[in-house]
């Protein structure tokens, strides 16, 4: 069982009745997100309350009325999955740090400095986010925050969000492994296998990953690969 001093409240309100249990914050969120966790590792005690702080326990009648059962595991699972789980400041900070890392990675992968067409290093992006005093929403998808964040840091670093179409011609002896690499980096919009086994392909790729892809293909083929940018958006 979880230490009661470290527990938070998971709350569920239905049919005008409030139900509360004490849980471990992080484990409750993991359970809510589908991770297979033992209930004993999530809850403090097998008690359902109407008000935890006042010590008012929920009646069996109300439990059956709302949940169709008074079984603690079934009731607590529904409270955690469909109700509200309080978050500790420590866990909020953890979520915010992870979301910030994801956002920086997305900007690094999908954008370039228009002055040299190279991606900004993650450290430079982080510094711009700090300088612009951008607030990261730990509950909002990283993808949904990127556009507004780029607008806020654009006056600090030159930045362009771009997807490029790049055409490749790869000799037969490297075509199989190269094809696997290309699929890993982006979306193939064209693939054509010549009679000699060589590969001609066009791939949509985030602009920030272009140089990384070039390096990997050049290492594999010892520089024996042809490429050119055929479009961007």
Whether residue 89 contacts residue 96, with contact meaning beta carbons closer than 8 Å, is answered with no
Mean pLDDT of the chain: 92
What is the model's pLDDT at position 60?
Answer: 95
The fraction of the chain above a pLDDT of 90, given in percent, is: 80
Q: Which of 109-113, 164-168, 169-173, 180-184 has the lowest mean pLDDT?
A: 109-113
Q: Which residue has the tokens 């603690």?
A: 72
Residue 113: both structure tokens together? 């400095």
Share of the chain above pLDDT 70, in %: 99
**Residue ranges making up the domain that contains 44:** 8-85
Query: Does 202 score more than 80 pLDDT?
Result: yes
Judge whether residue 175 has pLDDT over 60.
yes
* pLDDT attached to residue 14: 93
Query: What secondary structure does DSSP assign to 11-53, as a single string?
Result: EEEETTEEEEEEE-HHHHHHHHTT----GGGTBSSS--EEETT
Residue 1 confidence (pLDDT) above 60: no
Task: Label residue 29 by pLDDT band (50, 70, 90).
Answer: very high
Pair (170, 142) in one structural domain = no
Give the pLDDT confidence of 70-118 residue by residue, as tens digits. Answer: 999 999 999 999 999 999 999 999 999 999 999 999 999 888 899 998 8
Contact status, residue 217 vs residue 225, Cβ threshold 8 Å: yes
**Domains: count for the chain:** 3
Indicate the residue among 56, 85, 114 that finishes a domain. Answer: 85
Q: For residue 216, what is the domain's CATH number? A: 3.30.70.240
pLDDT band at 3 (very low <50, low <70, confident <90, very high): low
Does residue 55 sit in the same domain as residue 97? no
Task: Give me the helix-helix angle, 172-185 and 210-221, nearest 10°.
Answer: 160
Both 69 and 124 in one domain: the answer is no
Query: pLDDT (tens digit, 9 = 90+) per residue, 47-70?
Result: 999 999 999 999 999 999 999 999
Question: Which of 85, 119, 141 is the last residue in one of the domains?
Answer: 85
pLDDT at 207: 85
Same domain? 117 vs 168: no
169 pLDDT band, cuts 50/70/90, is: very high
**Is residue 206 assigned to a domain?**
yes
Question: Do 73 and 22 fall into the same domain?
Answer: yes
**Residue 103 falls within a domain, yes or no?**
yes
Question: Domain boundary at 161, 195, 217, which?
Answer: 161
- CA distance linking residue 74 with residue 4, whole number of Å: 21
Q: Is residue 47 part of a domain?
A: yes
Residue 189 pLDDT level (bands cut at 50, 70, 90): very high
Residues 170 and 147 both lie in one domain: no
198: helix, coil or strand? Answer: coil
């Amino acid at each position: 069982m979880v230490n009661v001093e470290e527990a938070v409240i998971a709350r569920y309100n239905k049919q005008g009745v409030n139900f509360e249990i004490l849980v471990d914050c992080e484990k409750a969120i993991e359970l809510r997100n589908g991770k297979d966790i033992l209930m004993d590792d999530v809850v403090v005690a097998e008690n359902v309350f109407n008000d935890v702080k006042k010590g008012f326990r929920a009646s069996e009648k109300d439990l059956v009325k709302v949940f169709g059962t008074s079984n603690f595991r079934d009731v607590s699972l529904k409270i955690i999955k469909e109700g509200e789980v309080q978050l500790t400041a420590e866990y909020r900070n953890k979520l915010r740090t992870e979301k910030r890392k994801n956002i920086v990675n997305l900007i690094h992968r999908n954008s370039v400095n228009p002055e040299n067409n190279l991606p900004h290093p993650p450290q430079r992006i982080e510094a711009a986010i700090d300088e612009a005093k951008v607030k990261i929403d730990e509950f909002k998808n990283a993808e949904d925050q990127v556009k507004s964040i780029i607008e806020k840091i654009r006056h600090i670093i030159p930045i362009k969000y771009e997807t490029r179409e790049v055409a490749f011609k790869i000799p037969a002896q490297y075509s199989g492994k190269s094809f696997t690499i290309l699929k890993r980096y982006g979306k193939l919009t064209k693939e054509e296998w010549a009679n000699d086994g060589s590969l001609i392909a066009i791939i949509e790729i985030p602009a920030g990953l272009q140089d990384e892809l070039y390096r990997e293909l050049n290492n594999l083929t010892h520089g024996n690969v042809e490429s050119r940018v055929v479009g961007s958006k």
